[in-house]
């Protein structure tokens, strides 16, 4: 029944198709009057908006942010390292194919076999699909066991995240041995990709949690707004600045097999939107440290103006409050620490909440907020350093609750012919 068994008899493409396209095959064209349809489907989807999968770095990190994202974490079930490697190889091939707008697998199947691609993205464009893989602490050591003989290769920087002040983490939205983030400009393309990768993991890794998200770029360009209605990401380091990315995002020589990779920290941050929406605009701006309409730092006129952390008003109070989010997360307040944020808003419907205060937090509330995603060269001097301060001092915590959390080492990009994470396994016995 497995859809990724390379030895299923009769799956040779030639045997069924001759010269017809593999796309048409995987879509299940053969038989039952499907000849005309096969011709129509034989043209691959438009590839105009393709993000290359192979390269020095993985895609989906400094890639111009797509509108839709799915982040999935997996528990490894395999007992053998070889099974993990085989999965990474299958994932690599499929991710590359799908990033080009192709089906996950190239093989034809007869009518009496399950299709090797479910076909739910048939006819859709590549949509700048990126697939970003990550390795969680559990790949190296799980419940004190070195399941795959990889413990000695665990990067120092892949620390377990500490418990932060105020964390209200829910186990079923945390952690994972492996991660996949799929981003695309089309939600159906993104879901198709994740689902096909999921099927390829059958028997090796089980999905643990999944989080969808969206972000909508303004019509005229510029910074996107989050669900708080504020521009979000103004102070992000520029992905067009290669030197900056080398400094902030990409692991350098210190990283061994992780060189040219990056570490991702994700946090599912529920925002009490009902509470926020009842809050005075002036207070909202003090919480954020910026003007709501323009995004300018308080006391400044333009979004791109630098924060003036020393500015005082006539009474000698700081113009940007001491506990404002923008101040506390600024590099200048964190010994220069920076991270590359690549967050998505999420909306998971409604759930029942019963909290004592404020009074309207009794009953059905939106389960919506920010799926925070941050890449960095070293989480110890990146997210962890910054969030230790935010978790204790940020006045925004009055409106936000961290309910999900995970950290993954995202290896460098794969070279064509190789596979994601190959460097991790180099030189290991057996």
Residue 340, C-beta contacts closer than 8 angstroms, at least 6 positions apart: 61, 62, 236, 237, 239, 245, 248, 249, 374, 375, 376
> Which residues, 243 to 282, sit near a second copy by CB under 8 A?
273-274, 276-282
- Does 350 contact a second copy by CB under 8 A? yes
The pair of three-digit structure tokens given for residue 236, joined into one six-digit string? 């992000």
- Does 228 contact a second copy by CB under 8 A? yes
Kindly state the smallest distance separating residue 24's Cβ from a second copy, in Å.
Answer: 7
Beta bridge partners of 350: 366
> Which residues, 286 to 345, sit near a second copy by CB under 8 A?
291-296, 298-302, 345
Nearest CA among 62, 71, 64 for reference residue 371: 71
Distance, C-alpha 46 to centroid of its chain = 25
- Does 371 contact a second copy by CB under 8 A? no
- CA–CA distance, 347 with 366 (Å, rounded to integer): 8
Q: Residue from 63, 100, 119, 385 that binds a second copy (CB under 8 A)? A: 119
Q: Using omega within 30 degrees of 0 as the cis cutoff, is the peptide bond preceding 20 cis?
A: no
Instruction: Give, in degrees to the nearest 5, the angle at Cα 273 between 74 and 183.
Output: 35
Tokens 């029944």 locate to 1
Helix axes 81-99, 187-200, angle to 10 degrees: 150
Q: Residue from 56, 114, 170, 428 that binds a second copy (CB under 8 A)? A: 114
On the 0-12 / 13-18 / 19+ scale of CB atoms within 10 A, 32 is: exposed
Q: Residue from 195, 270, 327, 402 that binds a second copy (CB under 8 A)? A: 195
Kindly state the smallest distance separating residue 188's Cβ from a second copy, in Å.
Answer: 4
Piece of the chain touching a second copy by CB under 8 A; list 12-20, 25-33, 148-156, 408-416: 25-33
Kindly state the smallest distance separating residue 249's Cβ from a second copy, in Å.
Answer: 26
- Does 125 contact a second copy by CB under 8 A? yes
Nearest CA among 144, 56, 135, 47 for reference residue 98: 47
If the CB atoms of residues 211 and 239 are measured against a second copy, the closer one turns out to be 211
Judge whether 390 and 402 are in contact, CB under 8 Å.
no
- Does 79 contact a second copy by CB under 8 A? no
Report in angstroms the alpha-carbon separations of 234 from 295, 341, 384.
8, 10, 21
- Does 364 contact a second copy by CB under 8 A? yes
If the CB atoms of residues 2 and 418 are measured against a second copy, the closer one turns out to be 2
Nearest CA among 79, 118, 116 for reference residue 1: 116
The SS3 call for residue 153 is helix
Kindly state the smallest distance separating residue 117's Cβ from a second copy, in Å.
Answer: 8
If the CB atoms of residues 281 and 415 are measured against a second copy, the closer one turns out to be 281
Q: Residue from 8, 141, 198, 311 that binds a second copy (CB under 8 A)? A: 198
- Does 396 contact a second copy by CB under 8 A? no
Number of residues binding to a second copy, judged by CB under 8 A? 97
- Does 215 contact a second copy by CB under 8 A? yes
Q: Residue from 111, 145, 314, 356 that binds a second copy (CB under 8 A)? A: 111
Kindly state the smallest distance separating residue 269's Cβ from a second copy, in Å.
Answer: 15
Kindly state the smallest distance separating residue 350's Cβ from a second copy, in Å.
Answer: 5
Q: Residue from 7, 9, 19, 112 that binds a second copy (CB under 8 A)? A: 112
- Does 40 contact a second copy by CB under 8 A? yes
């Amino acid at each position: 029944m497995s859809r990724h068994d390379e030895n299923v008899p009769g799956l040779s493409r030639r045997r069924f198709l001759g010269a017809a396209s593999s796309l048409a095959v995987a879509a299940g064209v053969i038989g039952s009057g499907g000849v005309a349809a096969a011709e129509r489907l034989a043209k691959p989807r438009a590839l105009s908006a393709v993000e290359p999968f192979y390269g020095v770095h993985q895609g989906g990190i400094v890639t111009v942010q797509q509108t839709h994202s799915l982040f999935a974490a997996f528990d490894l079930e395999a007992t053998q390292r070889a099974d993990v490697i085989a999965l990474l190889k299958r994932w690599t091939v499929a991710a590359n194919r799908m990033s080009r707008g192709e089906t996950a697998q190239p093989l034809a199947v007869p009518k009496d076999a399950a299709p090797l691609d479910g076909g739910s993205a048939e006819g859709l464009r590549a949509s700048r699909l990126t697939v970003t893989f990550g390795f969680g602490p559990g790949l190296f050591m799980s419940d004190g066991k070195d399941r795959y003989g990889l413990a000695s290769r665990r990067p120092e920087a892949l620390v377990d995240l500490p418990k932060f002040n105020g964390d209200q983490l829910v186990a079923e939205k945390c952690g994972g041995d492996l991660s996949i983030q799929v981003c695309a400009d089309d939600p159906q393309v993104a879901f198709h990709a994740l689902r096909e990768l999921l099927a390829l993991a059958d028997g090796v890794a089980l999905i643990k949690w999944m989080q969808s998200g969206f972000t909508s770029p303004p019509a005229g360009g510029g910074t996107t707004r989050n669900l708080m209605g504020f521009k979000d990401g103004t102070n992000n380091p520029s992905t067009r600045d290669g030197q900056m990315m080398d400094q902030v995002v990409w692991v350098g020589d210190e990283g061994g097999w992780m060189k040219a990779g990056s570490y991702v920290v994700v946090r599912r941050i529920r925002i009490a939107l009902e509470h926020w929406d009842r809050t005075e605009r002036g207070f909202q701006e003090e919480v954020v440290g910026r003007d709501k309409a323009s995004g300018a730092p308080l006391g400044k006129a333009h979004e791109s103006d630098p924060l003036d952390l020393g500015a005082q008003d006539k009474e000698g109070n700081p113009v940007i409050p001491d506990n404002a989010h923008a101040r506390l997360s600024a590099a200048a307040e964190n010994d220069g620490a920076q991270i590359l944020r690549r967050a998505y808003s999420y909306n998971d419907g409604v759930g029942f909440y019963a909290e004592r205060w404020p009074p309207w937090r009794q009953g059905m509330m939106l389960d919506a907020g920010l799926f925070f995603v941050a890449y960095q060269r070293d989480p110890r001097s990146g997210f962890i350093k910054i969030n230790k301060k935010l978790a204790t001092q940020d006045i925004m915590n009055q409106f936000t609750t961290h309910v999900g959390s995970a950290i993954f080492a995202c290896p460098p990009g794969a070279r064509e012919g190789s596979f994601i994470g190959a460097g991790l396994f180099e030189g290991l016995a057996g």
